[in-house]
Amino acid sequence: MADDESKDEPTLVERWLKDQQEWQKTALAYLDSMTKNEEFLVHMGNAMRGSLLAGKPYPTASSATPSTPEAATDDRIDEILHALHLIQGELQDLRMTLSELASSESNTPGSSGSSRGAAKRTKKKSTGRK
Amino acid sequence: MKRSPEERELEALLALSRQSRAKLQRLHEVLTTPGHYGTGATPATVVYRENKLQLLRLLDADGSPYRGPPVLFIPAPVSRYFILDLLPGRSFAGYIAAAGFDVYIADFGIPAKEDRFSDLAYYVDGLIRRCVRTVASIRQEASISIVGYCLGGTLSLLYTALYPSTVSRLVLLTTMVDGDFEGGIAWIAHRMGLEGESYDNPRLVPAVEVKSWFEMLSPGSNSVVGRVSDLWNRLDSSPDRLRDVRTMASWVDDVVPAPGRLLAELYREFGPGRNKLMAGSATVGHRAVDLNNITMPVMSVSAENDMIAPPEGVDAIRSIVPHAEIVRLRGGHVGIVAGRAAPDLWEQTAEFLGARAD
Domain membership of residue A98 (yes or no) is: yes
**A52 vs B contacts (CB less than 8 Å):** 30, 231, 242, 245-246, 249-250
**A40 vs B contacts (CB less than 8 Å):** 31-32
In what helix (H) or strand (E) does residue A26 lie, and over which residues does it extend? helix A12-36
* CA end-to-end distance (rounded Å), chain B: 73
Residue of B nearest to A123 (CA): B137
Cβ pair A38, A57 in contact under 8 A: no
Distance from CA of B57 to the nearest CA of A (A): 11
**A15 vs B contacts (CB less than 8 Å):** 14
Domain membership of residue A25 (yes or no) is: yes
**B96 CB contacts (<8 Å, ≥6 apart)?**
B71, B103, B147, B346, B349, B350, B353
**B190 CB contacts (<8 Å, ≥6 apart)?**
B267, B271, B272
Please state the rounded mean pLDDT for residues B26-38: 85
Of B11, B32, B137, the CB nearest to A100: B137
Q: What is the pLDDT of residue B82?
A: 92
**Is B114 within 8 Å of A56 when comparing Cβ atoms?**
no
Which of A82, A90, A95, A107 is the mutation pick for testing B, counting most B CBs within 10 A? A82
**A78 vs B contacts (CB less than 8 Å):** 113-114, 116-117
Cβ pair B269, B194 in contact under 8 A: no
Q: What is the pLDDT of residue B196?
A: 78
Question: Could you tell me if A92 and A54 lie in one domain?
Answer: no
Of A79, A88, A103, the CB nearest to B117: A79
Total number of domains constituting chain A: 2
Q: What is the pLDDT of residue B219?
A: 66
Is the whole-model pTM more than 0.95? no
Domain membership of residue A2 (yes or no) is: no
**Is B38 within 8 Å of A6 when comparing Cβ atoms?**
no
Which of B28, B163, B235 is the mutation pick for testing A, counting most A CBs within 10 A? B28
Q: Indicate the pairing of strand B44-50 with strand B53-58.
A: antiparallel
**Is B50 within 8 Å of A88 when comparing Cβ atoms?**
yes
Q: What is the pLDDT of residue B194?
A: 66
Give, in degrees to the nearest 5, the angle at Cα B5 between B1 and B8: 65
ipTM of the complex: 0.86
Which of A35, A52, A93 is the mutation pick for testing B, counting most B CBs within 10 A? A52
Q: What is the pLDDT of residue B53?
A: 98
- pLDDT exceeds 90 at position B145: yes
Q: What is the pLDDT of residue A128?
A: 38
**Is A92 within 8 Å of B11 when comparing Cβ atoms?**
no
Running along chain A, 130 residues long, what does each successive block of 10 average in pLDDT? 62 90 95 92 91 86 56 81 97 95 78 46 40
The string of pLDDT tens digits covering residues B307-349 is 999 999 999 999 999 999 999 999 999 999 998 889 999 999 9
Distance from CA of B326 to the nearest CA of A (A): 34
Domain membership of residue A22 (yes or no) is: yes
Of B10, B30, B114, the CB nearest to A82: B114
Considering A22, A40, A58, which residue would you say is the last residue of a domain? A58
Closest CA to B250 of A46, A39, A37, A63: A46
The string of pLDDT tens digits covering residues B167-198 is 999 999 999 999 999 888 877 777 777 667 88
**Is A52 within 8 Å of B250 when comparing Cβ atoms?**
yes
**Is B253 within 8 Å of A53 when comparing Cβ atoms?**
yes
Domain with A110, as residue range(s), is 84-130
The string of pLDDT tens digits covering residues B290-305 is 999 999 999 999 999 9
Domain membership of residue A78 (yes or no) is: no
Domain membership of residue A67 (yes or no) is: no
- pLDDT exceeds 80 at position B268: yes
Domain membership of residue A69 (yes or no) is: no
Residue of B nearest to A86 (CA): B122
Residue of B nearest to A15 (CA): B14
Residue of B nearest to A16 (CA): B14
Please state the rounded mean pLDDT for residues B100-129: 97
Domains and their CATH numbers in chain B:
44-353 (3.40.50.1820)
Please state the rounded mean pLDDT for residues B157-163: 98
Cβ pair B194, B258 in contact under 8 A: no
Greatest mean pLDDT range, A97-106, B129-138, B213-222: B129-138
Distance from CA of A74 to the nearest CA of B (A): 9
**B63 CB contacts (<8 Å, ≥6 apart)?**
B43
Please state the rounded mean pLDDT for residues B75-103: 93
- pLDDT exceeds 80 at position B230: yes
Q: What is the pLDDT of residue A4?
A: 53
**A55 vs B contacts (CB less than 8 Å):** 37-38, 250, 254
Q: What is the pLDDT of residue B211?
A: 83
Buried b (16+ CB within 10 A) or exposed e, B232-254: eebbeeebeebbbbbbbbbbbbb
Domain membership of residue A70 (yes or no) is: no
